Structure 1
Amino acid sequence: MSHSGRADALLADLPRAGRGRLKVFLGAAPGVGKTYAMLQAAHTQLRQGVTVLAGVVETHGRAETQALLNGLPQQPMLRSEYRGVQLDEMDLDGLLAAKPKLVLVDELAHSNAPGSRHAKRWQDVQELLAAGIDVYTTVNVQHLESLNDQVRGITGVQVRETLPDWIVQEAYELLLIDLPPRELLERLREGKVYVPEQARAAIDAFFSQTNLNALRELAMQTAAVYVDDELDKGYRQQGQSAPALRGRLLVGIDGDMHAERLVRHASRVAERRHLPWSLVHVDNGTVRDEQSRLRLQSAQQLAERLGGEVVLLRAGEVAKTLIQHASERRASLLLVGQSRLTWRRRLFGGGLAARLLRDSHGLEINVLDNEQSPAPTVSRSEHTLVWFDYGLALIATVLASALAWGVSSVLALPNISLVFLAAVLLVAVRSSLGPSLACAALSFLAYDFLFIPPNFSLSIQREEDVLTLLFFLLMAALTGKLASRQRRQLQALRDTQQETTELLDLSRKLTAATDRKAVVNAAGQHLSAWKELDVCLLNRNGNGGWDVETGGPLQFSEAERAAADWAWAHDQPAGKGTGTLPMGRWWWWPISAEEGPLALLGVCPKEGQQLSGQRRRLLMALSQPLAQALARARLAQDLEAARLHGETEQLRSALLASVSHDLRTPLTTMRGSIDTLLALGEAIPLADRRELLEGTRDEAERLDRYIQNLLDMTRLGHGALKLARDWVSPADIAGSALNRLRAVLAPLQVQVDVPPQLPLLHVHAALIEQALVNVLENAARFSPPHGHLQLTAGADEAELWFAVSDQGPGIPEEDRARIFDMFYTAARGDRGGQGTGLGLAICQGMVGAHGGRIAVGEGIGGQGTCITLYLPLPEQPGLENEESERED
C-alpha cells in the first residue's frame, strides 16, 4: 500500500477542522433503549467536565428516562403554532448561541414543523456539526431511506419520516442498541414503551415478533456495514493493502412507478458489496407525460440523497447504451427493473432485461421483479393524443389508397406499394412507433384488398403475391420503426443542442465581460430569455443586506430572505424544492468559487409554471461559467488595485526620499539669504538685497510646490486621497500648468499647440496638472537662455498625450530606460547634477495611477529631450450630458 494511501486513511480518521463529531445510537424499533443509552453516555461526559446540553429528548413518559434527563442541562424548546396546534421544536439558534461541547438530539429522522429553517431534524444536526459542536443522536433502522420499501414489505406500514443513509455511515461512532423481540414485547405490554392503549395498537399493527426479528436483522446489517468500513479503514491506517475496487454498480431507470423502489434497492446492494454506484437514465426521445417526468426527477433526487451519481444519456438503443456506458465506467453489476412484455416487445426481441442478457458479456445483470400494482390511469388529454395519432394513420392509409387507385392505370403493381410506404413514413415521422405499425397493417390490408387479384377480396390466388405482401409488410414495419427512432433521436439532439447552445451563448457573453457589472448584466440578459421563470442575482452589501444586481426590483418575504441568508452562509442550496426553508417561492443557488460565494442565484417559477428538473440541472451547469467569470472579474479588480497600490507606494517612497535633498536644498538657500540679510543688513547694496529677497521668494515657491506634491502623493499612497476623477479639457490642464510656471518660463520662447477640440479626459485634474508642471519645470531648468520650449497635445482612438520638448543637453539613448528609476541621475540627463533623480519617478507615479505611461525621445530638431505623457482615453460622455452641464 502506498504511503499516500495510508496518510489519507489516517487523515480520514481525524475530525475535520472546526467540525463536530456525530455519535449515533441505532436501534431496530422504538423501546429498545436508545434514548436511555444516550442519556447514560451524556452523564459520563458530564462527569468528565464536558459541557452538555440537551437539545431535544423524547421520554414518552418513561420514568427512568425522565430521571436521567432531569440531571442534565436542557435548552428550552421553541414553541410554534401550525393550524391551531401548538408544536414544540428544538431551538437551533439557541444551541448555536450557547455553543456547548455536546448536544443531545433525539429522533434524528423527525420532520420539523412547517416554517422551520430546515425541513428535517438531521439537517439541524448538520448545522450543529458544522459549528464545531459534537452531537449524540438516536435513530431507528426503519427510518433509513434505502430501507423504506423493505420496511413497508415487512410491516405493511409506509414510514414517512426518513433520512439519507450517508448520515449514519459518516458518523464518527455508531452504537447498536439491541433488545430481543420477546423482551421488547414484554416491555410494551407492561406500558414501559407506550401507554397501554397505544401499546396494544402498536402490537397489533407493527410490533409483531416476526416484524421485530426482521427489523432487528436490518439493524444488524446496517451496523455490520459500518463495522466493515471501520475495519477496512483500520487496515489501511496500518499500511496494509485495502481490498481492490470491485467495480461499480449501475442502475438503469425509466419514468415508471417503480423507479424509486429500484433506486433504494440499488443503494442497499451497493452498500453491502461496498461498490460505488450510479443512476443512469437513457433518454431515447420517447415523449413522456408530466407524471412520468416527475417520477423520474424524484428518483434522481432520491439517488443523490442516497449518495449515488446521476447520469443522463441520450441515445436510441437503451440496452446498447447501458452496456457501452458500463464498459466505459468499468461497472461490474447492472441493475434494472422488469419490463412489461407487450406484444411489440415480444415481436422485436423482448424487454430491456432480455436484450441486456443477450448482448452483455462478462457483466452481471440483476433484474428486480416489479410488485403488482394497479395500471396507471391515463388522462383524457393523453387518450385524445393517442387516438389522434391512430386517426392520422387511418387517414394516411385512406389517402394513400385513393392516390394509388388514381395512378394504378399508369403505374405497375409493384410501384403502387411505394405510395403506401410513403404514407407509413409520413405517419412515423409525425407520430410514434405504434401508429406507424398500425398504418403499415392497414396499408397491407388495403394493398391486398384493392390491388392484389382477385380485387376487392382478401384472398390471394398467386403464391408470388403472398411473398410480395409479406415483403411489403416487413418493409413497412421496418421503415416505420426506423423513421420513428430517427424522430426520437432528432428530438434528443435538439434538446442537447439547446443545452449546449445555452452554455456556449452564456460563455461567449461572459468572455467579453471585463468587470463584475458587465458579467452580471450578461448573465441577466441571458437568463431573462426564460419567460416561464423569474431569475435574479443577489450580492451582499456592506450592511449585511442584499442588493439585487439583476432581475429586480423584487420583493422577498422574511422566509425567502432567511433562505437566501442560509444559502449564502453555508454555500448550499436552500428554499423551494430543497430541505432547507422550503416554504417560500424562490430557489436559491450560491454561485461560488474557492474563496466562497460570489453571488446568489434566485429562481422563482411564474404563476402556473414550475421549475422542471431539466431547467434546474441547466441552471446548475450555467452557474459554473458564471462563477468563473465572477472570479475572473474579482481577480482583475484585485490586480488593478494591487497595481495601483504598487504605483502609489513607489511614488510615496520617492516623495518621502526626496525630503533628504529636494526639500533641503531650497531651505538651505533660503536660510543662507536670511542669515546674510540679518548679519550685514544695511551694508548690503540695495540691488544685492533685492536679489537675495527674490531668490528667497523663488526658493519658497519651489518649496511650496514640493510640499503640496508631497502631501497629495502621501495621502494617495495611504489610500486617504482617492482619485477624484472628473471630465476635464486637456486645454484647461495645459493652461493652468503654464500659468503656475509663468515666472520660470519667462526667459524662454514657449510654443503651445493644444487644440481646444481634443476629447475630454476623465482624470484627477490636480494630479495630471502637477505631473505636467514637473515636466515643464524640468525642461525649463535645462533649456539654454532664450531657448525654445514646446508644449503640444494630441489624441488617437485609445490615448491622449502631452509632449514637452526642449533644446537642453538631452538624455543619452542608453540612459532613457533608466531615468524613471528612483535616485538615478544622468551626467547630462534629466536633472544633471542638481537633483536626486526623483522628478520623473514622481511623474510616472502620478500618470501610472491613472493607467497611463511616460515616454522619452529626442527634442526640438533632434536636440534636447521630449517627454510625452500618455493617458488612456475613455468613452466620451453623451452630448445630452454635455449640453446640460453647459446650461448649468
Structure 2
Amino acid sequence: MMNGEGHGRTERILVAVGASPSSANLVHWAARFARMRDAECLALYVDSGAALGPEGRRRLDDNLCLARTLGARVEVLPGGDLAKSILDAAREKGVFLIVVGRSGLSRPRLFPKTITVSDRIVREAGAIAVAVVQDRDAPPVPPSTVPANGPRGTLRELWIARFARIAAAAALFAGLIIIGYSIAPIITYRGVALVYLAAILGLSFFANPGTVALCALVSALALNFFFIPPRYTFSIGEPADWLLFGVYFLVAFVTGGLVARLRSREKLLAQRQRAASFLLEAAEKLAPCSSAAEAAATAASLAIGYFGLPVFVFADESGGADAVGEADGVGEADGVLVRGGASTDEMFTAAARRAFTGGIDESAGPDGARLRAIPSSGGDRAGVVIGIELPEGRVWTVSDDELISSLGKTLALIIERERSEEASRRSSLELGSQRLAKVLLDSVSHEMRTPLTTITGSLSALRDDALAERPDARKAILEGALDASASLNRIVEDILSAGRIESGMLKLKREATDPADIVESAVEESRSSLGDRDLSIRLPAVPRPAVLDGALVSRMVANLLRNAGKYSWPGAPVELALAEEGAELIIRVVDAGPGVDREREATLFEKFKKSEGRSKGGLGLGLAICKGIAEAHGGSISAYSGTGTFTVEARFPGCVEEEA
C-alpha cells in the first residue's frame, strides 16, 4: 500500500533492510522501482546493537551485499527505535519513498492490540510515500535475545550476564521484602513504597528498559501482597491504597523506563563518539603515509588497537581478485599484505579473493575462529580487504562491519591518492623529458650548424683549382675546417659526457699527475677561445703530484677557461690559479666580467643553463660537466661574483700526495 505523494520531491528511495528472508524481495522491489523512476536507491539497516545468530548474520550479509550489487547505496545507522530511525534518515536524506516489509511489533504491549514498525512508519511518515511489501512465504524473524546496546562478548557470556542481572534483581527484592518487614512498623507501608520506588530508580541505571518495566510490575504486586492491607492477598480495601498502588506503579514504570532509555541512548552516543574518534584518528595517521605498505601497516595497527583482535589488511591499487595472488602464499601477490597477529597466508589470500569477488566473506579460521573479510574501494582502482579473526562465540555487529569498511575506504583513498600523485610525477617527468629532448635537439642542431657550415664551405672552396697556386689561402681554409671539426667534436663529447655523468657511468682513471701538465693541456685546448686576452697562471712553487684523472680534470679546466673567454669583458685578463691546502687541490679561474646574480649562482651548474641576455652559443653543458667531474672525484665546485670579477673554484680533497 502507498501513503502520501512522492511528486515534486527528491528522487531518492529508501528501503529498510534487515536479517529477515523477506528483505531480499524488498531490495529487488526497491531497485526495480528506482530504475523505473531513474532514482537513487538507499538501503538502510538500523543496528540496535542486538546480536544476531549465525543464520541471521548470514542473511543480513547477503541482503546488504545484494543491495550493493543492485546499485543501492548501503548505510548503517545505530538506533534503538527502528521506526524513528528510519523516518529520521528518510527526512534527512530527502527521500520521497520508504519501502518496508510487513514487520513484527514495534514494541511489546500489555494488551492484545499491537502496532508494527511498518504501521508506525505509515502513520508518522507525513508527506513521505510509504510502500509496505508483504512477503507471505517468509516467516517472521524473532527478536534478538541479546539486549540492545548490550556489552560485547560471546553469546554465552551475554546470556550469563543477563541471568546474573535477573538473579541480582530477585535477590534485591528479596532483601527489600525483608527490610520492608523490619521498617514497616516504623514508617508504615507507605514508607515501604518509597523505598521500593528508590530501588526501581537505582535498578534503572543497570538494567535495560524491559527489565525495569518487569521489576516495576513485580514490585507493585509485592507491595500489594506483602504490605498493603489486607496483607497476603492481591485485594485492596481502601481507595487511598488503590491510589497509592496505581501511582507507585505508574511512577516506577515511567521513571525507571525513562532513566533506562536515557542510559541506553548515552551508551549509543558513546559508541558513536568512539567510532567517530577512531575514524578521525585513522584519517590523521593515514594521511602522512607515502606508500601502500606503510598505510596498510598503520590501518592494521589501528584496527588491532580498537577491536583487540587479530587483523589482516590486503591493499592493492588494482582493486581486483587477480592481485591477491595464489592461495599457496602471498609471494606472488601484486599488492601489500599486512598481518596483525592473524592466521596463515593461505587463509588471508583465499578470503581476500572471495571478498573482492563476492563481497563480505566469512570463513572458518584456526582453532574454531571465524575469519571475516570486509572489502572496500576508493577512487577508480584502489581496493582494500580488511579481515578480522573472530574467536568462537564473539559477537560482531553490522556497525562493526561499517566501521571496518570506513577504515578500508580511507585506506583505499590514501592508496589512490598516492597512485595519482605517482602518475602525476611520472607525467611531469615524461613532459620534462620531452621538453628536455626538444631543447637538446634545438641546441644541438643550432650549435652543429655553424661548424658544419664552415666545414662544408671549406671543402667547397678546396675544390677550386685556383687555390692550388695559393698555398697560404689553402692553409687558412684547412685550419678553419680543422677548428670547426674540433668544435663539432667538443659538442659531441659534451653530449656524451653529460650522458655518462647523468647515468653514473663516468669512470675515473686515477693516477699521479703533475698539476703543471693539467694546466698546459687545458691552456692549449682553450687557447682559441681566449683570443687576445692575457692569461696569467699561478702554480705552487713546488707542485706535488695529485692522484686524479688528469684528462678529465684538464678538460674541466679547459671548459672553465672557454667559459671565461666567452663571458668576460673583451680584452680583460683571465687568471688560472692552482693551490694546495694539505691534501686538497684547489683550482680557481677568475675573469673580469659582469658576473651573475646571487639568485642564479645556485643553478649555474645545471644542464642547459646559459647566461641570460648574452647569446654566446654553446649547449649550456660546460659547467654541468665541470660539476660532474669534480663530484666524481669526491670534490665540489662553486662560483661567486666579486667587484668586477667572477670566480669559479673547484676543490679536490685528498688528491695531493703527502710529502715523504
Aligned residue among 580, 586, 592 for 1:808: 592
Give the aligned partner of residue 321 of structure 1: 85
Matches within 5 A, 1:218-257: 250-255=14-19
SS at match of 1:810: coil
Letter in 1 for 2:594: G
Q: Does 1:629 align with 2:414?
A: yes
Q: Does 1:472 align with 2:253?
A: no
Distance 1:710 1:426, change over 3 A: farther
Give the aligned partner of residue 315 of structure 2: 537
| Structure 1 contact 251–263 (Cα < 8 Å) conserved | no
Give the aligned partner of residue 65 of structure 2: 301
| Structure 2 contact 451–488 (Cα < 8 Å) conserved | no
Matches within 5 A, 1:34-49: none
Aligned residue among 305, 314, 338 for 1:551: 338
Q: Which runs of 5+ in 1 are unaligned?
A: 1-242, 579-583, 676-692, 726-731, 752-766, 792-801, 870-888
Aligned mates of 1:637, 1:535 — CA distance in 2: 22
Aligned mates of 1:401, 1:837 — CA distance in 2: 108
Give the aligned partner of residue 45 of structure 2: 281
SS at match of 2:593: coil
Give the aligned partner of residue 423 of structure 1: 199
Matches within 5 A, 1:593-604: 593-594=379-380, 597-598=381-382, 601=385, 603=387
| TM-score normalized with structure 2 length | 0.60
Bigger Rg, which one: 2
Matches within 5 A, 1:634-649: 634-647=419-432
Distance 1:613 1:467, change over 3 A: closer
Instruction: Give how far 1:520 is off.
Output: 4.3
Distance 1:608 1:836, change over 3 A: farther
| Structure 1 contact 454–461 (Cα < 8 Å) conserved | yes
Aligned mates of 2:516, 2:67 — CA distance in 1: 77
Distance 1:465 1:559, change over 3 A: closer
Give the aligned partner of residue 287 of structure 2: 511
Residues 360-382 of structure 1: per-residue CA shift (max 9 Å, x gap): 33444637376677979979877
SS at match of 2:109: helix
Instruction: Give how far 1:512 is off.
Output: 0.7
Instruction: Give how far 1:511 is off.
Output: 1.6
Distance 1:403 1:778, change over 3 A: farther
Give the aligned partner of residue 261 of structure 1: 22
Residues 475-504 of structure 1: per-residue CA shift (max 9 Å, x gap): 221232223323433343344344434433
Aligned mates of 1:504, 1:770 — CA distance in 2: 60
Aligned mates of 1:376, 1:577 — CA distance in 2: 23
Root-mean-square deviation (Å): 6.5
Distance 1:470 1:425, change over 3 A: same
Aligned residue among 638, 642, 651 for 1:860: 642
Q: Does 1:492 align with 2:268?
A: yes
Residues 107-140 of structure 1: per-residue CA shift (max 9 Å, x gap): xxxxxxxxxxxxxxxxxxxxxxxxxxxxxxxxxx
Instruction: Give how far 1:551 is off.
Output: 1.8
| Structure 1 contact 403–419 (Cα < 8 Å) conserved | no
Matches within 5 A, 1:768-783: 778=563
SS at match of 2:426: helix
Distance 1:473 1:770, change over 3 A: farther
Distance 1:333 1:411, change over 3 A: same
Give the aligned partner of residue 359 of structure 1: 124
Give the aligned partner of residue 171 of structure 2: 395
Instruction: Give how far 1:742 is off.
Output: 9.5
Letter in 2 for 1:434: G
Distance 1:427 1:545, change over 3 A: same
Distance 1:607 1:471, change over 3 A: closer
Distance 1:787 1:263, change over 3 A: same
Letter in 1 for 2:314: C
Aligned mates of 1:859, 1:619 — CA distance in 2: 62
SS at match of 1:809: coil
SS at match of 2:22: helix
Instruction: Give how far 1:586 is off.
Output: 8.7
Residues 714-745 of structure 1: per-residue CA shift (max 9 Å, x gap): 578xxxx64689xxxxxx9xxxx999789769
Residues 411-464 of structure 1: per-residue CA shift (max 9 Å, x gap): 999887665445334433333222212232344355567776889987767655
Instruction: Give how far 1:334 is off.
Output: 4.1
| Structure 2 contact 638–648 (Cα < 8 Å) conserved | yes
| Structure 1 contact 573–587 (Cα < 8 Å) conserved | no
| Structure 1 contact 774–843 (Cα < 8 Å) conserved | no
Residues 149-185 of structure 1: per-residue CA shift (max 9 Å, x gap): xxxxxxxxxxxxxxxxxxxxxxxxxxxxxxxxxxxxx
Residues 624-645 of structure 1: per-residue CA shift (max 9 Å, x gap): 3333322322233233334444
Letter in 2 for 1:356: I
Instruction: Give how far 1:404 is off.
Output: 7.8
Aligned residue among 613, 617, 622 for 1:836: 617
Letter in 2 for 1:808: A
Aligned mates of 1:699, 1:501 — CA distance in 2: 74
SS at match of 1:628: helix
Distance 1:823 1:550, change over 3 A: closer
Letter in 2 for 1:313: L
More RCO (CA 8 Å, sep 6+): 2
Distance 1:343 1:647, change over 3 A: closer
| Structure 1 contact 822–838 (Cα < 8 Å) conserved | yes
Distance 1:299 1:644, change over 3 A: closer
Residues 237-257 of structure 1: per-residue CA shift (max 9 Å, x gap): xxxxxx9999666443554xx
Give the aligned partner of residue 257 of structure 2: 481
Matches within 5 A, 1:476-875: 476-527=252-303, 529=305, 531-537=309-315, 545-547=332-334, 549-551=336-338, 564=353, 572-573=357-358, 576=361, 589=375, 591=377, 593-594=379-380, 597-598=381-382, 601=385, 603=387, 605=389, 608=392, 613-647=398-432, 657-658=443-444, 661=447, 707-714=492-499, 722=503, 747=536, 778=563, 785=573, 808-811=592-595, 835-836=616-617, 838-839=619-620, 843=624, 859-860=641-642, 863-865=644-646
| Structure 1 contact 563–575 (Cα < 8 Å) conserved | no
Distance 1:845 1:600, change over 3 A: farther
Letter in 1 for 2:261: R
Letter in 1 for 2:117: L
Give the aligned partner of residue 344 of structure 1: 109
Aligned mates of 2:186, 2:560 — CA distance in 1: 99
Letter in 2 for 1:352: V
Q: Does 1:368 align with 2:134?
A: yes
Instruction: Give how far 1:508 is off.
Output: 1.9
Paired-residue identity, %: 18
Distance 1:439 1:574, change over 3 A: closer
Aligned mates of 1:776, 1:464 — CA distance in 2: 120
